[in-house]
Each structure stands twice: as structure tokens, then as C-alpha cells.
Structure 1
């Protein structure tokens, strides 16, 4: 039986600036700034430990088109570690680190093959196994054409692997670069598709495997949970996947129902209990958004609303190796109101609810953010679902204040 083992990763975003997080404690902030490099080292450790035949990196090795010297030096060092163990690397550059960027060039070791700006294929061989790998690097930041149409299956190989940094199915949550549909990939009759661009781990198809591994380190609260890569064992008959968690700092959201609690102390201890459960689930640092549902007004509840609970939960966490840092606490107070009844009444609240239901100016309201010369570099377009959630949350806050 012919078989190969490789590591599939994507979206390393080395040296990500972690925009908007500088108010974290200095120790946690520095660890977060270094987290992409720790994740890269863990990735390489896993490749060496599992004795993989090669590594695939499906785009966005670097976070920016300038490819910082620090990121290049650290990346080269890790590639050299793989070279010592005879492990080849096949990588493409994506929209973040496209080929038209301007950077000080630091050459990579000979075990690294970088795909060019047009779809091409290279060959990996070991003993009696031959693998054709197909891919391309982004020649510029925005690639809207269907590059999938340029993938052509070659001959004389035991396995065919496609590498594609692109957007599946017109996913409106992400820039629609190098778009494709799953059926397009299946029609190519490849044995495996190594995808990149989407930062959430997704298996789009089992046979053949079409897989987004997600990014290797979360960078904000929309990139929740474990992050990492896949160790793939591909044979004539099947494909086996092993997930490797590489993140040094994880992001999480914890929701707690405090409906039956009527003292600051009981709410504090319940929060502490939930945070310690979260701490015991992992050995890395964790940054958490805490949501308290159904808070009833009681003597001392103002201490939760004015930030005292947050301050107490944050105490000493920055000194912990596996810290659980609560970055924010959102409170949903238990308010009883009948929305339909409010709409039936005359007055300001009725007019407000009718305005919200017919609100269509989301794009205009967000324009200043998306056109800001700094902010626009670090945000992606919001989906219709995201906009609906923002409007619904605005309604909840307004009614909470009014009631």
C-alpha cells in the first residue's frame, strides 16, 4: 500500500500586530504579540515528531505585504529545523503576503519550494511514491478571478494534491478572493485539497478531503477556540486526519445565567468557578469575554455594572502562565417587556422599534470605519448576518436603557 504523511497548515500571519489590544497588561500583550511565532514552533515540533514527509502552507505566511524582517528570520529558522530532518516544505503566498509587496528579501533554505504567481505543479518523491502538488501565490493583493479553472491534473503520480488560498461558495464573511465551489474541486479528481484563507477550521468534503485548517493562532474575539493544523496520512484507500492545537493564547466567550443569584458574592464565586473550569481545560493563556444573562437589580448589583467585578476577576491573572484574562463583562439585565405591545402604543418607543425594523443604513453607518486609513487594513467586510446582529444588539441596549 502506498502512503504519505504530511502537515497541512495555512494563515500563519506571522508577526500580526494584534491591533486594538495594547490596553492588555504588558506581560499578556507581549505574549500575544509573540504568539504566532510560538504557534509556528509548535507546528514544526509536530512535523518533526510525527516524521512527516513534507509540510504544506496554504497562503498568508506573513501578516503584511512588507514581511517584517523579524518574521522572515524566525520563519527561516523554523524551516532550517525542518531541513535538518529532511522535511520538504511547499508554500503559497496569499492576499496578505502577495508577491507584489515590498520587503527586504531574506532567502529561504533549499527545502522550501515557493509557488509562483501562476498555477504550476511540482513533484515530491520518496521510495516508490510520487506526489504532484499544484498551487500558486497571489501575484497581487486582490485576486478575484477563478484560479481553480487553471488547475490541470498531471500524469504519472500516485497522489495529486491541490493547494488553494481562496473563498468557498461566495462566503460573504470573507473577501471573495480566488472563489470556488466544492464541486469545482471534486471535478479535478485530486486526492486532497489543502485550503487556506478562512480562519475557521472546516472540512468541506470527505472524499476527496477538502479542508480549511484555520489559522494557527487566534488574533481577536472573532477567532475563538483552539487553533492549529492537521497531520494528514493519505493512502490508496483512505485519509486519516490528526488535529494539532498550536495556539499559545486562546480566545473564548463564556456565558453565565445569574437569574437566581441576588448577591455580589454569589455571582463572583460562580464567575470564578467557570473561569477555573476554563483554565483547567487548557495549558495555554486564554482571553475571555464574559456575558452575564438575566441579572436582576439587587443591593450591590451596581458594583457589577460599574466594573468592580471585572477588576476583581482580573487581579493577579497576568502573572499566571495559563492565565484566564477577562477582557470584558457584558451584562444582560432581566427586563420584562412585550415588544408587540410597545409597537402598538403611540410614542417614541413605537417610532424607535419601527425605525429599527426598517433600518437600511448599516453600510453608511459603518463607512467611517471602513474608510479609516488605519482601521481598513485590519478589518474584513461584515456579512448580512453580522449587520443584523449589530442592529438587534442596538435595539436590546436601547430598550434596556429606556425600560
Structure 2
């Protein structure tokens, strides 16, 4: 029976700047900065250990269009390791590392095969004799909104057909609609596997044929929570086997903890320590966003200690810990129920405030100083509608809490 084995990964974002984390202890920050490279090394090690027939990298290998020399050099080192084992690598570039960027080129070994700006097919004959056709294209510029899926064809003469596409499934609204497609579009092509990229969450859009976003290999901010990695895929004429392999050296997590049962500072501390122990992973660092809700301490001194000393106590033992759990964001909220309708009846001010918030539509102008800042415009991406709504909702909640407390 004919069989092929390959790795499908995407969105490596090598040398990502990890914005906003420079306040971390130097040892942890260094590890965070190295995490995309560490994750990629795990990928190539797995490819060699499993003796796969080839590797697919479905876009956004580099974090920016300048493709830093550091990132290129590290990438080339891993490609050379695969070349020694005669493992070919098939690459498309996405919106972050498009072909129109400006960078100093480092020559890659001959096992690296790059798709150009128009959809094309590349032919591979594996060591065991199977013929594989791989189809894909690289982004010529940062923004590709055309339906490139219409250019994918199926050539004859192959045992397996694999599509590679960096784009957005049309029903998804959380991401820029680059190279849009529908699941039915891909199914109609009658390929054996679709290797997708662009979405940083792991998503299986279809089982027959497999249409898969592997997500990115390393989370880069608090929105990219949980383990990250790639798929090791084995295809035969009868079935597809998909094994997810974790690569994250640093994992982002977020948790809400109900502290209503805590009657003292000590109780709250133990509750937090228990939560940290729950998230500790062997040889993997964790960056934790912790929200303590429903605090009901009556002693004023203990309340002050929560805000001034709790975080320091939680971090005290983590600096030298290989499997650290570092609380990057601690939010403490007291137990209180705020009735918006009641507040409207109590004062016209609240009614006007909520009316203004409900009809606020000037987010872009409000954030303009950030996007116009020299550093801000380099690292900030445009907010999606859902993100704008979330920001307004958080602002409303903060205003109500501050006004309520005063």
C-alpha cells in the first residue's frame, strides 16, 4: 500500500520581538526571546527522528518582511540538518514574510523548495517511490485579497495531491480575509490533504479530506494561549493519521479564580499557589494571566497587602525555576454586583454614559496616537471589529467599577 509521512507546520514567526515583555527577569526574557527558535528545533528533531518524507511550512516563517539575518541564519542551520538526512522542505511565504519585502538574502540548501507568487505544482518522488504533487503560492505582497484558490488545479500522474495555502476560511471573522476560501472550495479540488496557514489556533476544518490549520508553533502573547505545535501526518490510500506534536517552550495561559471562599490574605495566597501548581509543566515555562474575582476580605491591612505584596510573593521562587509559572498580569476584583439599570434610575449621568458607550464608533481616532507613534506603528496590528468591541466593553466595565468605588 502506498504511504507518505510528512510534517505540516505554519506561522513560525521566527525572531518575534515579544513586545511588552522586557520587564521580565533577564533569564526568563532571554528564554522567551529564544522560544520561537527552540520550538523550530523541536520540529526539525521530530522530522529526523520520524524519518518523514518531507516537511511543509505554510507561510509566515519569519515575523517581518525584513527577515532578520538572525532568523534566516537559524532557519538555514535547521534546513542543513534536514538536508543531511535528505528530507526536502516545501515553503510558501505569507503576509508577514511576503516576497516583496526587503532583506539580505542567505542562500538556502538545495533541499529547500520555495513556491513563487503564482500557484504552481512541485513534484516529489519519495525514497520509497511514491509520487507526490504539492500545490501552492507565496504572497507577492503583504495584502492578498484575491481568491487564489481558483488557480489551484489537479495534475495527473501522482499518488498523492497536497494543497498548501496561507489564507482565511471565508466564514471566519477574527482575522484579515487574505486569500479567502470556503471548505467546499477545497473539497472540490479533490486533493488528499490541505496544509493551511495564517490562523494561529489549531483547527481541523474537515476530516475528509483533512483540511487543517496547525496553528503557530509558539505562542507570542496572552491571546495565543495553550500548547502550540505542528502535525505529523501519515497518508495512505485508505486513511489519514494526524498526530499533533507540541513544540512550545513557553506557554501562555489565562485563568479566572473565584476567591469568594478566601477569608484571609493567607487563604488567597494559598489559592494562588495552588493555581500556579496546576499550570506548572515539566521543562516548559508558563506566562500566566491571573484574575482573582470576588475578593471579600474585611481587614483593610490585608486588602492593602493583596495589592502591594501578593504578586511579589507569587514570583519569589520562579526566577530560577526551569518550569516556571510567571504571573505576567494579576487583576484583583472585589465582590460586588453592579446593576446598570438601577444606576440609570439613580442618576442621569449613568444613563448618558451608557448611551455614549453604546453608540461609540470612534475607536480608530482614539487609538491614533498609538498607531502614529514610531514604535507603536511598527508592532501594532489593526484591530478587528470583535477586538474593538471587546476593548469598549472592558473600558465600560472599568469606568463603572471606578465610579462605583468612588
TM-score (norm 1): 0.96
1:273 Cα shift?
0.9
Contact 2:370 2:376 in 1 (8 A): yes
The match for 1:91 is: 91
Contact 1:148 1:180 in 2 (8 A): yes
Measure, in 1, the Cα distance between the counterparts of 2:238 and 2:138.
31
Q: Give secondary structure in 2 for the equivalent of 1:318.
A: coil
1:158 Cα shift?
1.0
Measure, in 2, the Cα distance between the counterparts of 1:388 and 1:179.
24
After superposition, the C-alpha distances for 1:204-258 in whole angstroms (9 at most, x for unaligned) are 1111111110111111101111010000011111111101110111111121100
Q: Give secondary structure in 2 for the equivalent of 1:148.
A: helix
1:67 Cα shift?
1.3
The match for 1:245 is: 246
After superposition, the C-alpha distances for 1:313-361 in whole angstroms (9 at most, x for unaligned) are 1113121111100011112221133222222233322322222223222
Structure 2: segments with no counterpart, 5+ residues: none
Q: How does 1:208-227 map to 2 (within 5 A)?
A: 208-227=209-228
CA gap 1:304/1:223 in 2 versus in 1, 3 angstroms: farther
Contact 1:168 1:180 in 2 (8 A): yes
Q: Give secondary structure in 1 for the equivalent of 2:251.
A: strand
The match for 2:45 is: 45
Q: Give secondary structure in 2 for the equivalent of 1:55.
A: strand
The match for 2:75 is: 75
1:304 Cα shift?
5.1
1:81 Cα shift?
0.9
1:260 Cα shift?
1.9
The match for 2:356 is: 355
Q: Is 2:266 aligned against 1:265?
A: yes
Measure, in 2, the Cα distance between the counterparts of 1:301 and 1:328.
20
Measure, in 2, the Cα distance between the counterparts of 1:200 and 1:259.
33
- Please list every run of at least 4 consecutive aligned residues from structure 1 whose deviation after the TM superposition is greater than 6 angstroms: none
After superposition, the C-alpha distances for 1:267-287 in whole angstroms (9 at most, x for unaligned) are 0011001101111x4430111
Measure, in 2, the Cα distance between the counterparts of 1:186 and 1:374.
43
Measure, in 1, the Cα distance between the counterparts of 2:338 and 2:75.
56
After superposition, the C-alpha distances for 1:89-112 in whole angstroms (9 at most, x for unaligned) are 101111111111111111111111
1:259 Cα shift?
0.9
1:382 Cα shift?
2.6
Structure 1: segments with no counterpart, 5+ residues: none
Measure, in 1, the Cα distance between the counterparts of 2:163 and 2:230.
17
Contact 1:310 1:328 in 2 (8 A): no
Measure, in 2, the Cα distance between the counterparts of 1:214 and 1:98.
19
CA gap 1:200/1:376 in 2 versus in 1, 3 angstroms: farther
The match for 1:290 is: 290
Measure, in 2, the Cα distance between the counterparts of 1:371 and 1:203.
38
The match for 1:9 is: 9
Measure, in 2, the Cα distance between the counterparts of 1:233 and 1:39.
21
The match for 1:396 is: 397
Measure, in 2, the Cα distance between the counterparts of 1:164 and 1:125.
21
1:395 Cα shift?
1.9
Q: Give secondary structure in 2 for the equivalent of 1:116.
A: coil
1:19 Cα shift?
1.4
Contact 2:259 2:268 in 1 (8 A): yes
